[in-house]
Amino acid sequence: MSNTIDNSYLNSLKWQQEATPTAKDNNQALTQEDFFSLLSQQLSMQDPFKPVDNDQMISQMSSFATVDGINSLNDEIKNMNTVMNSSQALQASSLVGQKVLIPSDKAASDGVNPVTGVISTPAGADNMVVKVKDGAGQIVRTFEVSAGDGGNVDFSWDGKNADGEAMPEGTYSFTAEALVGGKTDTLPVFTYGHVSSVTLGGANYDTVLNLRGVGGVKLSDVLSVAEGS
């Protein structure tokens, strides 16, 4: 039996292959429907004397399955991020009206309620004092705080100056000093701030807590939460 085939038939196949337009997708993504459509065209236009190798076909399908699996994984990660952002937004919103401890030496005073914070104190610290400064950097009050056995030591300022007069509402800074090993050291200070509002984050930016008189602080920087007053 002759294995010849009419040249006009081969030419028609070649013409069909060359004339087939390539659809342009703005996102350049090959969908599953596109893949099987192209595969069908490849099979219909193959050279009868050189059919597509089975191993090659399996390799193409496996490659697409891998890419499709990666795309599915990316979609799952996006969904997970959406859930996490929603959970974080709910958590942050519940902090409005509460006090949060942040790594800052500044805190706002309303002129009525005490300002509180925490001093990170090493073991053996002695003669610890806290200096309160106003917005101009002037020391308005100095008071002693017991260092105890070290660790995180609470402090509280009643909002009054050295003469016992109430200081006006505003933002104040706090410096803690103590004798450590015979030398005067400045110790880390953390203050509580009142959460007045929340700026919700997204995929590329953090959720921010807006603290009265202090400004914005990342939710991830919050060290602890206390009941607001």
What CATH number is attached to the domain comprising 137?
Answer: 2.60.40.4070
Same domain, 53 and 112: no
Residue 91's pLDDT is 74
Same domain, 43 and 86: yes
- Residue 196, exposed/middle/buried by CB under 10 A (0-12, 13-18, 19+)? middle
**Does residue 207 have a pLDDT over 50?**
yes
**Does residue 203 have a pLDDT over 90?**
no
Q: Mean of the per-residue pLDDT values for the chain?
A: 79
- Boundary residue ending a domain (58, 92, 126): 92
Distances (CA, A) of 188 to 22, 120, 172: 65, 5, 16
Largest CA distance in the chain: 118
Same domain, 125 and 173: yes
| pLDDT per residue as tens digits for the range 6-42 | 555 445 544 444 444 555 545 555 666 676 676 666 6
Between 37 and 65, whose confidence is greater?
Answer: 37
User: Residue 123 belongs to what domain range?
Assistant: 99-193
Residue 5's pLDDT is 46
Give me the number of domains the chain comprises. Answer: 2
Between 151 and 86, whose confidence is greater?
Answer: 151
Question: Lowest mean pLDDT: which of 94-108, 112-126, 135-149, 192-206?
Answer: 192-206
